[in-house]
Amino acid sequence: MWDVIASVINLGIAMATPLALASVGEVYSERSGTINLGVEGIMLMGAIAAFHMTYVTGDLLLGYLAGLAIGVIFGMLFSFMSVTLRLNQVIAGMGIYFLGFGLSDFIYKTLYGKEYVTIQKPPQIPVPGLVNIPIIGQALFDQYPTVYLTYILIPVLWYLLYKSSIGISVRAVGENPKAADTMGVNVFLVKHLTIWFGSALAGLAGAALCLEITGLFFENLTFGLGFIAVGLVYFGKWDPMKAWAGALIYGMTWSISVTLQDPLQKMGHPEMVYFMLMLPYIVIIIALVIMSRGARPPKYLGVPYTRE
């Protein structure tokens, strides 16, 4: 019994990780006033880049880096549109989404045809010592590489946002860019960099999803996770730790429903399997509705900045 619970938590955390990475990236982007709805598309591009790089080179690290890199490239494209050209962020973001959606599938079909090709997933790495703690060890410390990354990265990002001069500048740019500008903060640079950073994490999230969870690529691999990541920013009230908590709720629900699918099928409730597939989405929608009430976005979210 305890073994099952530990493995459910283990899977839940693994599933929550791509979502958490994309979401905390978006937190930074939105904190400086830019809403990036293209996260889903960037995740798909990150996934295909990581998949192809790993398939060709056989090197997982290069795969992760390819996801990260394609994220930065798409972030540059998006920040050029939304910050430099001051285009409507919703429209620009949807453009990025459709581009990523179509392009990732096009690349896959061009390179691999209609076959499903699998790659060797990265191993789950046990942390010596910690893994021996009963239940917790198996749940938390026998995990994929990006899971360990989130353990360190997200608290660091929280600390940076609230306790560092970088965080003060980022928050000031989103709340009142003019105030930041008149105090000598380079508003445009802050906006560009946070968008690149957020997109890089989205690309890495796609890589994690593809390499660690699925081990293969197919059309629309992310099935809406990128949009859920944007929703989790509201759920978390623009706080990296709370956004992570939201991702974990989703991951756990998903893990429970996946684990229950087989027994339910065997017990003669095939219709419940579909319900279980739907469950994570229901839970996340309810969580969003409850937690997003009274959420106050950065005051200049969605407003392009100009001096004159």
Partner 1 sequence: MGEENGDGKGDVIVLMKGIVKRFPGVVANDHIDLEIRRGEVLALLGENGAGKTTLMNILYGLYQPDEGEIYVEGKRVRFRSPRDAIAHGIGMVHQHFTLVEDMTVVENVILGLRKYGTFPDLKKAAEDITEVAKGVGFKINPWAYIWQLSAGEKQKVEILKALFRKVKVLILDEPTSVLTPQDTKELFATIRKLVARGLGVVFISHKLNEVMEIADRIVVLRRGKVVGRLMREQANPRLLAKLMVGREVFLEIHKPPREPGRVLLEVHGLKVMGDKGLLAVKGVSFRIREGEIVGVAAVAGNGQKELAEALYGLRKVEEGRIIYEGEDITKAPISERIRRGIALIPEERLVYGALPTFTVAENLILEEVDKEPFSVPVPVLTPALGMRALNREGIINYAKKVIAKYRIYPPYPEYPAGKLSGGNLQKVMVARELERGSKLIIAEEPTAGLDVAATEFVRETLVKARTEGSGVLLISSDLSEVLSLSDKVMVMYEGEIVGAFRPGELSIEEIGLMMAGAKRMPEEEVAKIWQ
- Where on the chain is the footprint of partner 1 (CB under 8 A)? 163-166, 168-169, 171-172, 175-176, 178-186, 296, 299, 307-308
Q: Which is nearer to partner 1, 268 or 294 (CB)?
A: 294
Q: Which is nearer to partner 1, 11 or 153 (CB)?
A: 153
Query: Are 46 and 203 a contacting pair, CB within 8 Å?
Result: yes
Q: Is 217 helix (H, G, I), strand (E, B) or coil?
A: coil
To partner 1, the closest distance from the beta carbon of 32 in angstroms equals 12
Q: Which is nearer to partner 1, 30 or 212 (CB)?
A: 30
Nearest residue to 147 via CA among 20, 2, 3: 20
Which CA distances in Å does 240 have to 46, 206, 221, 244, 261? Answer: 21, 19, 25, 6, 32
CA dist., res. 78 & res. 82, Å (int): 6
DSSP letter assigned to residue 116: -
To partner 1, the closest distance from the beta carbon of 166 in angstroms equals 6
Query: Are 226 and 40 a contacting pair, CB within 8 Å?
Result: yes
To partner 1, the closest distance from the beta carbon of 199 in angstroms equals 23
CA dist., res. 150 & res. 165, Å (int): 22
Q: Which is nearer to partner 1, 269 or 299 (CB)?
A: 299
Q: How far is CA 194 from the centre of its chain?
A: 15
Q: Which is nearer to partner 1, 52 or 242 (CB)?
A: 242
CA dist., res. 308 & res. 303, Å (int): 14
To partner 1, the closest distance from the beta carbon of 119 in angstroms equals 39
To partner 1, the closest distance from the beta carbon of 178 in angstroms equals 5
Q: Which is nearer to partner 1, 88 or 182 (CB)?
A: 182
To partner 1, the closest distance from the beta carbon of 182 in angstroms equals 5
Q: Is 127 helix (H, G, I), strand (E, B) or coil?
A: coil
